[in-house]
A = this chain, B = another copy of it.
Amino acid sequence: MNPSNLSTPLLTRLGISVPVIQAPMAGTSTPALAAAVSNAGGLGSLGMGATTVEGARAMIRETRALTSKPFNVNLFVHVPATADAEREARWLAYLAPEFARFGAEPPAALREIYKSSVDDDAMLAMLVEERPAVVSFHFGLPKPHIVKGLHDAGIVLLASATSLDEAMQIERAGIDAIVAQGIEAGGHRGVFDPRQPDEGLGTLALVRVLVRHTHLPVIAAGGIMDGAGIAAVLALGAQAAQLGTAFVASPESAADAAYRAVIANPAVRTTLITSISGRPARGVDNRLAELGRAPERPPFPDYPIAYDAGKALHAAAKAQGNYDYAPHWAGQAVRLSRAMPAAELVATLMREVAQAGS
């Protein structure tokens, strides 16, 4: 594949020169990572799903200090959680023996630890002031006035879809491009309504169906770890590839040593999806995932209320040096991970794209 042919209308719109988007990965992405990817010609992303408005502003400013290039700010726009004291109490009772293993008590109650940006006027106002080049949405779509406000500020908008139905909603909402997130992808699935059956479309099928049956540019995500993967999704008609797991091992990410060790371990082959956070997410199998997939578990509290419990349990375990409860999100092709600085990874990817299929 000739790299001089890689420019697409979407890349022009995004103001980037290589078809690589670093996935937002709330909690793992950093301003340093996003800036490194953007400086290398791709689109770096900041995951704001676990951040306040002022925290998000600080991250944007920190990134801007490191790059003059466009970058992407990702928001979680899930339906806000419905608290359910009985469901949450059952969940905590279920986890109590795990806390006890570390001499800890479960929290007395669970909180909605992250605010949804679905209708967040303070987040909108901050973004209109700061004007990142790109804003992306995960878990659904925001209210129409948020779309309009960001568009009026000249910001390009992306949204994740896991199905044709979600993609068509994205199209109707006036979003500029679709992130087609296949079942291979690590981290949280962008499904709009996790109570509905999930067809679990693979990246190859999803990308091709969306390219053929929507009118928007498609960005492929899920299972892409190298230039061959990027060349493959470009052949499917995607205009760019979004890579998450591939960047976790970069020194610029916020991944801790335990997460890096799991990602680098060739014996780790199995990832799976659980709703341990309250929403389906793919990660490496460990004791946390086992609690999420146990047939006898009680119903999950809503996202992100369930995540509050998981994070408390991980903290209790980590305090005793146990990392078996960490949310080690990773995609199905984690075995192809390579630890290298983000700029070097982007350059390597582009060399590989040029060689793919030749």
* Identity of the chain B residue whose Cβ is nearest the Cβ of A228 in the assembled complex: B236
Q: For A213, what are the chain B residues with a Cβ–Cβ distance below 8 Å?
A: 335
Q: Residue A336 contacts which of B165, B212, B224 (CB distance < 8 angstroms)?
A: B212
Which stretch, A59-67, A266-274, A310-318, touches the partner chain B? A266-274
B209 touches A232 (CB 8 A): no
Q: For A356, what are the chain B residues with a Cβ–Cβ distance below 8 Å?
A: 235
Docked complex Cα distance between A235 and B357 (Å): 4
Q: How large is the interface on A (under 10, 10 to 19, 20 to 34, 35 or more residues)?
A: 35 or more
A199 touches B234 (CB 8 A): no
Query: What sequence of 0s and 1s flags, for each residue 170-209 of chain A, a beta carbon within 8 Å of any chain B beta carbon?
Result: 0000000000001110000000000001011111111011
Docked complex Cα distance between A6 and B200 (Å): 31
Docked complex Cα distance between A62 and B198 (Å): 43
Q: Mark out the residues of chain A between 317 and 356 whose CB falls within 8 Å of any chain B CB in the assembled complex.
A: 331-333, 335-336, 356
The answer to the question of A237 belonging to the interface, with a C-beta cut-off of 8 Å to chain B, is yes
Q: A183-B200, A202-B183 are in contact. Are A229 and B223 (CB under 8 A)?
A: no
Query: What sequence of 0s and 1s flags, for each residue 159-172 of chain A, a beta carbon within 8 Å of any chain B beta carbon?
Result: 00001110000000
Q: Mark out the residues of chain A between 64 and 86 whose CB falls within 8 Å of any chain B CB in the assembled complex.
A: none
18 contacts between A and B (CB under 8 A): A1-B235, A184-B201, A184-B205, A199-B269, A199-B271, A202-B204, A203-B203, A203-B205, A204-B232, A205-B222, A205-B331, A206-B332, A208-B223, A229-B236, A232-B235, A232-B236, A234-B357, A235-B235
Q: A residues engaging B (CB < 8 A)?
A: 1, 5, 163-165, 182-184, 197, 199-206, 208-209, 211-213, 222-226, 228-229, 231-237, 269-272, 331-333, 335-336, 356-358
